[in-house]
Amino acid sequence: MKYPVFINPGSGNGSTNMDILQQDKRLDTHILSPDKMHKALLEHKRKKTPRVLVCGGDGTLGLSASALQGSTTELAVLPGGTLNHFAQRMGVPSNLDDALELALAGKASAIDVGTVNGRVFLNTSSVGAYVQFVRTRNHLEKRMSYSLASLVAGIRRLLRLRSARIQLDSTLLRSPLVFVGVGERELAFPFLGAERHDGRNGLHLIALKSKGRLETLNIALNAIFRGIDPLKKTRDVEARMVESVCLQYKRKKRSIYVALDGELCFLQAPLQYEYVREALLVVSARP
């Protein structure tokens, strides 16, 4: 039996990985764009294929998880992106040959995931000022340097800042920047946003509390250089574990750019986040 392996040619190490994997006679390789890969994985889910291998970055793996969640088909990860946060969480070796041996012979276990409006994310999601900043900077980089594009993007985002409304128990919170992680995250610099190995289960909601543009800029700079923990004491940040949370916007049915595992997508407000337990079978080296 040959194992189906799907490769995203646009990922960080796409071309190098293609050459290696195509030469392995144990594999049936498919080089597909993310959209076509999603459709192909849905077909394997329908046919109840025991195990599929996916080579790509966090965004590609998140899209694959959306297709395979709730099925008996196991996902084996081959790190092929730039950062490969999810592969590291699962204990997958960074070396492709070692990762491949784990993918073929390792055991799978059920993991928890996050969803927003039904879309799966494996590590983190963010919405608000930072997402818009990255989108604007990437557009401006075509016409100017990275530093100048960053400066102009920052000014534009401050001038067009919009806040989400979040109902937490009896408290209504307004925030221009919301971060949601699967599992508890580190709040102190320099590990800000990284998974806590001894952390609690659930969605870790981190939201800046701000009443204006300059205050938002001040909080953001402090978070970058000091971490979130000191800001919690001054009540500039709301950080708590939740099972679900809804982000409302002033204009209902408004499309919002949302970052899911580093990839931008367009979703319609309100944004409903959910924590889904044991949603996906993943081959892992973790105990």
Does 128 lie in the same domain as 102? no
End-of-domain residue from the set 58, 76, 106: 106
Does 77 lie in the same domain as 128? no
Residue 248 domain-assigned (yes or no): yes
Residue 113 domain-assigned (yes or no): no
Does 128 lie in the same domain as 80? no
Cβ neighbours of residue 236 closer than 8 Å, sequence gap 6 or more: 208, 209, 210, 219, 222
Residue 114 domain-assigned (yes or no): no
Does 139 lie in the same domain as 67? no
Does 209 lie in the same domain as 92? no
Write the CATH number for 256: 2.60.200.40
Residue with tokens 């969605």: 203
C-alpha R_g of the chain: 20
Does 76 lie in the same domain as 47? yes
Residue with tokens 């008996």: 72
Residue 112 domain-assigned (yes or no): no
Domain span including residue 37: 3-106
Gap between the Cα atoms of 83 and 36, Å rounded: 23
Gap between the Cα atoms of 149 and 164, Å rounded: 26
Does 92 lie in the same domain as 13? yes
Counted domains in the chain: 2
Per-residue pLDDT of the chain (287 residues; tens, 9 = 90+): 799 999 988 876 666 788 889 989 999 999 998 889 999 999 999 999 999 999 998 989 999 999 999 999 999 999 988 778 899 999 999 999 999 999 999 999 999 999 999 999 999 998 876 666 666 666 777 777 766 665 555 555 554 556 788 988 888 888 878 899 999 998 876 677 788 888 999 999 988 876 666 666 666 656 555 555 555 555 678 889 999 999 998 766 678 888 898 788 889 989 999 999 999 999 999 76
Does 69 lie in the same domain as 26? yes
Does 129 lie in the same domain as 195? yes
What pTM was computed for the model?
Answer: 0.81
Write the CATH number for 35: 3.40.50.10330
Alpha helices in the chain (DSSP H): 14-22, 34-47, 58-68, 85-89, 96-105, 129-140, 146-159, 213-226, 229-233
Does 93 lie in the same domain as 140? no
Per-residue pLDDT, 159: 47
Does 176 lie in the same domain as 65? no
Residue 206 domain-assigned (yes or no): yes
Does 245 lie in the same domain as 194? yes
End-of-domain residue from the set 106, 136, 160: 106
End-of-domain residue from the set 106, 137, 165: 106
Residue 283 domain-assigned (yes or no): no
Per-residue pLDDT, 55: 94
